Chains A and B, each alone.
Chain A
Amino acid sequence: MAGDFSLWVYLAGTPLLWLTVTLTSYVLADRIAAATDRHPIANPVLITVILVGTVLAVTGTPYPTYFEGAQFVHFLLGPATVVLAMPLYERRATVLRALVPMLAALMAGAATTLAVVIVLARLLDIPQPILISLAPKSVTSGVAMGIAEALGGDPTLTAILVILTGIIGAILVTPMMNLLRIRDMRARGFAVGLAAHGIGTARAFQVSETAGTFAGIAMGLNAFLTAILAPLALHLLF
């Protein structure tokens, strides 16, 4: 028993264990998602987070210990953003033709998101520090945390709200767009990339490569615009 315990202590401290848990859970989650024919509610991020979270809870592992191992996977977010250039390049003619609708949708979408978040949070009496942390929640996590910090919010809370927003957006987009009878994959992708950053983009790539390309562009543009608009909106709507 003592031998088992020291083995556990050894493994729990290496990246090997938590990388394996993360990748295995993801493979399992992806199988579950595939088995439901990629139903929106069977979101791979959501299922994997639940699986890994259960393992951590059962073994009593603190999150920082887990993250130390899993940070290699987290790191790949950067390179994955860089290679969004690939589908963008392959579809550059399509993208260029849609420049005007994209810019219009970007302005409208970014402004709506900020206004709705701030007004709704005020109506519901959400305390100010949480409200500030909420404001950039549609933006990709690295930038959102920077915005929240600059405005006096709580960056770690923002990171959580960003992830939750991503999962909600990825679940909502397909049923909503089908209900609205929108078949333009450019518009569908752009909307989910703007509202739900990278997790929305991952969902868009599952549905169509055109949607994924436009989602990636929306994610990048919205990060830029929200960083400029968030301080203004908080100032105006307070």
Chain B
Amino acid sequence: MIASLALILLAQLVGEVLARGAGVPIPGPVIGMGLMFGFLLLRDSRIGLPRVLPKPLTDGTLESTARGLLMNLSLMFVPAGVGVVGRLDLLRAQGLKLAIVLVVSTALSLLVTVLVFRAVASCVERRRPDGEA
């Protein structure tokens, strides 16, 4: 558990350093995700990395730690979300207009993204019509 957390934090830290250092608009944790992906590829490749790694990183503990975090992703938005309640007065002046913009744009964004994805997917994958079973 601790070894897994340490690895996850390390990936985030390196990601943050790279993002700030290079001034790229990608958030540090997203680079960290890429680094973690690279780690998993290396771990499961045939170069024999598992023998030198702490056991929790190879015996599935890392995966269950990850699953635990992802299952509760909603929780992590609560502290920032409560900020909305604290600033309702600020939203009140433009509330209706903002609500229209947010709802319409989010709906259109969902619609266009999903339709383009499906249209291109069915062009590319004519033999597998409905994606993953």
The reply to whether B79 and A70 form a contact with Cβ atoms under 8 Å apart is yes
Cα A52 to Cα B36 in complex, Å, equals 34
- Kindly list chain A residues whose C-beta atoms are within 8 Å of the C-beta of B67: 86
Closest to A74 in B: B79
Closest to A83 in B: B66
- Kindly list chain A residues whose C-beta atoms are within 8 Å of the C-beta of B29: 77-79, 81-82, 142
Q: A-facing mask of B22-37, CB < 8 A → 1, else 0?
A: 0001111110111111
Q: B-facing mask of A149-185, CB < 8 A → 1, else 0?
A: 0000000110111011111110011001100101111
Say if the beta carbon of B116 comes within 8 Å of chain A: yes
Taking beta carbons and an 8 Å cutoff, which residues of B are in contact with A?
5, 8-9, 11-12, 15, 25-30, 32-37, 39-41, 62-63, 65-67, 69-87, 90-91, 94, 97-98, 100-118, 120-121, 124-125, 130-132
The reply to whether A160 and B87 form a contact with Cβ atoms under 8 Å apart is yes
The reply to whether B83 and A159 form a contact with Cβ atoms under 8 Å apart is yes
Q: B-facing mask of A119-133, CB < 8 A → 1, else 0?
A: 011001111001000
- Kindly list chain B residues whose C-beta atoms are within 8 Å of the C-beta of A77: 29, 76-77
Cα A175 to Cα B40 in complex, Å, equals 36
Say if the beta carbon of A34 comes within 8 Å of chain B: no
The reply to whether B113 and A78 form a contact with Cβ atoms under 8 Å apart is no
- Kindly list chain A residues whose C-beta atoms are within 8 Å of the C-beta of B132: 94, 184-186, 210
Sample of 12 more A-B contacts, CB < 8 Å, known A25-B78, A97-B125:
A48-B78, A49-B78, A63-B86, A70-B78, A86-B63, A87-B70, A116-B105, A126-B98, A143-B26, A187-B121, A194-B113, A205-B71
- Kindly list chain A residues whose C-beta atoms are within 8 Å of the C-beta of B28: 78
Taking beta carbons and an 8 Å cutoff, which residues of A are in contact with B?
22-23, 25-26, 30, 43-46, 48-50, 52-53, 56-57, 62-63, 66-67, 70-71, 73-74, 76-89, 94, 97-98, 100-102, 104-106, 108-109, 112-113, 116-117, 120-121, 124-127, 130, 134, 137-138, 140-143, 146-147, 156-157, 159-161, 163-169, 172-173, 176-177, 180, 182-188, 190-192, 194-196, 198-199, 201-203, 205, 210, 212, 216, 218, 220, 223-224, 227-228
Closest-CB distance, A168 to chain B (whole angstroms): 5
Closest-CB distance, A181 to chain B (whole angstroms): 10
Closest to B129 in A: A184
Cα A199 to Cα B112 in complex, Å, equals 19
- Kindly list chain B residues whose C-beta atoms are within 8 Å of the C-beta of A50: 85
Closest-CB distance, B77 to chain A (whole angstroms): 5
Give which listed residue, A167, A180, A212, contacts B114 with CB less than 8 A: A180
Give which listed residue, A81, A108, A201, contacts B113 with CB less than 8 A: A108
- Kindly list chain A residues whose C-beta atoms are within 8 Å of the C-beta of B125: 97
Known contacts A79-B12, A105-B114, A113-B105: A67-B74 contact under CB 8 Å: no
- CB<8 Å pairs between A and B, sample of 27: A25-B78, A53-B84, A62-B86, A63-B86, A74-B76, A78-B29, A79-B5, A81-B32, A82-B36, A83-B8, A83-B36, A86-B36, A86-B67, A98-B121, A100-B124, A101-B120, A169-B106, A186-B117, A187-B117, A187-B121, A187-B131, A191-B110, A198-B76, A218-B113, A220-B26, A223-B25, A227-B26
The reply to whether A85 and B27 form a contact with Cβ atoms under 8 Å apart is no
